[in-house]
Copies of this chain bind each other. A is one copy, B any other.
């Protein structure tokens, strides 16, 4: 890792109440990014950013992530064309997570072809563990991933 381009971590008070962006990257150099829809507020996806992805997202106002499976920087939409324009970026109290509110240029963010990655619900209060049966909700496909993504 090169040196962080951001402010150094300070005291808890500085991190929580200060105006310096001092993100806490984990031992793999990543921070969690929560992606929500700027219009509806819906939770769309969760991804990770390294320092470079966060910097590029701030600079360009387009979502950049770091792919843990492919071990590389990843501009959302570079393959699908479904770029995410960031309307607001927020950081949480202890600066170990960010939220980006986005306007989608495509119909959905999920690689399975759905609007959101959170398309299954876990029934509450009843059976648990191995007995759980997921329910599909808001799970209709809004694009065909086989057409949008190259074969991996």
Q: Does A7 contact B (CB under 8 A)?
A: yes
How many residues on A have C-beta within 8 angstroms of the other chain's C-beta atoms? 55
Q: Does A61 contact B (CB under 8 A)?
A: yes
Chain B residues within 8 Å of A46, by CB: 32, 34, 92, 97
Q: State whether A89 touches B124 (Cβ < 8 A).
A: yes
Partner of A20, one of B58, B119, B132: B132
What 16 additional pairs, Cβ within 8 angstroms, besides A20-B130, A32-B32?
A: A6-B132, A7-B132, A18-B134, A19-B133, A20-B133, A20-B134, A21-B129, A32-B46, A36-B43, A40-B41, A41-B41, A46-B92, A89-B122, A91-B120, A91-B134, A93-B119
